[in-house]
Amino acid sequence: MSSFEHFLHKHTLSFIQEGYQIFICVGCKKPISGPFYSCPHCIFYLHYECARLELQIQHFFHPCPLFLILDSDTCNACFMEVSGFSYCCFTCYFTMHVECALKPTISSESDEGLIQHFTHWHPLSLIDLNIFYDKPCCAICEKPCSTNSTYGCSSCNFFLHNSCKATIPRSINHSFHPCALNLLTYPNYTCNGCNRDCSGLTYSCGKCRFKLDIRCGLLPTVETRGADMIQNIMHPHPLARLGNKDVDNTRFGVGHRCRACGENDLDHSFSCSISCDFFIHTSCAELPKDIHHPFHLEHPLSLTYLPLQLHGADCSSCNKPLDGFLLAYRCDWCNFNLHKDCAEFKPSFKYGNYLHALTLCDKRPSLFHCTVCHKRVNKIFLRCFVCGIDIHVFCLPSAPKTITHKCHIDCLSLTQSPLEFELNRLEDADNSDDEFYCDVCEEKREKKDSVYYCADCKFIAEVGCVISELVPSYNTPEEQNGVTSRAISKDEDDSAIETRLAELNNEIIELSAKSKPLIQEREPLNIEIMLLNEKHLQLQGRLQEIETELWQIIRITDNLEVKHFLCKHQPKHRITEDMFSTEASTSGGLSLSAEQARHMEDESKVQNS
């Protein structure tokens, strides 16, 4: 205990038994008294109790772990300044005094009626409202507390309805923000929903610095029928329901229209409760935020306001200019835009050997040409937005050659234009100055576009005026193997994915069931293979033993062959050890050996003769 390593200081601290009032503890900022720790290199002093504080704690007032730090901030519990040690959550930027964090808590309701609730750091008790001249308001719903079933903290002027206390969620998922929001308290913040400056309870995402006050966080959505105040993904502020008397008021008169469809009729609609010029029909407020559309398969489209610099852009479907006042579906990655109406259901038709989702367009593009006849497409045509091909309505192979239409009593036949009777001379067929008109709409038509014609009456109808008779003859989505071009929401897309996953799981189960007999048939073979492998190992061991024995036998055989040869070919003279004795070192011994040698030579000569 004479030395101590503290995680907030780089030097080793020395223990001193008695403190001095002139020293100030860096942890609690109070004079040192009693035992303490001191740094011999720095002006760093800690009470013994401050030095032994836990590095990490879990507190009921905050869902995340709190870590001990040395910093200056504002306590999120008592809203007082913090100097010295404090417990902090680095994710939520939430700070508590050491004294606030270490106060005793109540695990359950006590005999005095005290409870501990995550909305307030002090224990809450039942409040007698008779002692108040003005009824206090609930910190959650902001309505007066009128019943005796009210809990509160009188010292902090914090009160809760019993029903609000029981139903308020500690964490929510909100359409305004992708992360989960936790209920916390902050001394000062600006609500990202209504832009109000607030204090106290807030639903917060500390990582993104996003905060919503209680009212914006708990407002119902448009799906909640009969709500007077709702929240919607199309506008950050709360939306208030408009009554008929509000619609008739001059404040909501000419010039105000729905931000989704552009209609001026604002009956059954909502408006911004702050001061924004934002109105939306109840039905339009139910539009999905994100959709997957067949016109743009690469990315989902998000419902949004277009940036000011893109207000002059065109819809990628109908090529009409986008109204910057209205909402549109947009892909920022590809600069792809769709009107709300263009994003709704559209008929699709089959063309060619593979499927093209052809959509009717009624606006002439500047430089588009028909894929079939290679002539410029005019007014009304079919387009595959995925592949970028354009086709005249009358060039589609399934287009009827003869139709009946309510505009004329006789049948109309598809005919090349211009007709001979319309020309003064055949040479004028290519004269661009001539004007030709449709007998249905009595408006100027394109001279070289085919028309539906009655030869008896010389009645001419351009394709766009009789399109209602052409559409039923085209291949409909039901004839295209279930392919459709309507906008698909995320929920529908997720449902389709889940269905496909379920089908794949069923296929896996079927394949597993089919493979079980095969696996069962393989098991005896696997066992037999395993036994054969073991026998093979045993035989290899026996082979090594036999090879060792054979080598020993070969050595013995070699020795026996040598002995047999020596026995069979013995020398005729016998050499004794005396012949190789080294002890005969005298001259007499040497002369004797020489004499013996001469005697042996003489005997050899006699035998040879």
Report the topology of domain 288-344.
Answer: Wheat Germ Agglutinin (Isolectin 2); domain 1 (3.30.60)
What percentage of the chain exceeds 70 in pLDDT? 76
Query: What percentage of the chain exceeds 90 in pLDDT?
Result: 2
Q: pLDDT band for 203, please (50, 70, 90 cuts).
A: very high
Residue 579 has a pLDDT of: 43
- 308 confidence band (pLDDT: 50, 70, 90): very low
- 196 token code pair: 């109000």
Q: Give the mean model confidence (pLDDT) for residues 543-570.
A: 79
pLDDT band at 66 (very low <50, low <70, confident <90, very high): very high
Residue 204 and residue 211 in contact, taking contact as beta carbons nearer than 8 Å: yes
* Per-position DSSP letters for 106-153, written without gaps between them: -SS--TT--B--TT-SS-BEE--GGG-SSPPBPTTT--B--SS-EEEE
Q: What is the mean pLDDT of residues 28-53?
A: 82
Query: How many Å apart are CA 518 and CA 522, to the nearest integer?
Result: 6
Q: Are strands 180-190 and 408-415 parallel, antiparallel or unpaired?
A: unpaired
pLDDT category, 355, cuts 50, 70, 90?
Answer: low
Helices H / strands E in the chain, number of each: 8, 33
Residue pair 52/62 in contact (Cβ under 8 Å)? The answer is: no
Give me the DSSP letters along 182-213. Answer: EEEEEEEEE-TTT--EEEEEEEEETTTTEEEE
Tokens of 13: 């601290």
The whole-model pTM stands at 0.50
For residue 337, pLDDT over 80 is answered with yes
CA–CA dist 165, 141 (Å, integer): 10
Give the mean pLDDT of 259-277: 75
DSSP H or E segment with residue 236 = strand 235-241
How confident is the model over 266-291, as a mean pLDDT? 78
Residue 156 tokens, joined:
């902090």
Domain boundaries, the chain: 3-47, 288-344, 400-423+434-474
Number of Cβ within a 10 Å radius of residue 393: 24
Give me 563's structure tokens.
């002995």
- Beta strands 451-454 and 408-415 are antiparallel
DSSP 244-304: HHHHHSGGGSTT---TTT--S--SSEEEESSS---EEETTGGG--SEEEETTEEEEEEEEE
pLDDT of 306 > 70? The answer is no
Query: Could you tell me which residue, 407 or 581, shows the higher pLDDT?
Result: 407
Question: What average pLDDT is seen over the chain?
Answer: 75
For residue 34, the SS3 value is: coil
Render pLDDT for 425-463 as a digit per residue (tens, 0 to 9): 656 556 656 778 888 888 888 777 888 999 888 899 888
Lowest mean pLDDT: which of 384-388, 396-400, 426-430, 438-442? Answer: 426-430
- Supply the pLDDT for residue 576: 46
Average pLDDT over residues 395-417: 85
pLDDT tens digits along 127-186: 877 777 778 888 888 888 877 678 888 888 888 888 888 888 988 888 778 788 999 998
Q: Which residues have C-beta within 8 Å of that of residue 460, sequence separation ≥ 6?
A: 417, 419, 436, 437, 438, 439, 445, 451, 452, 453
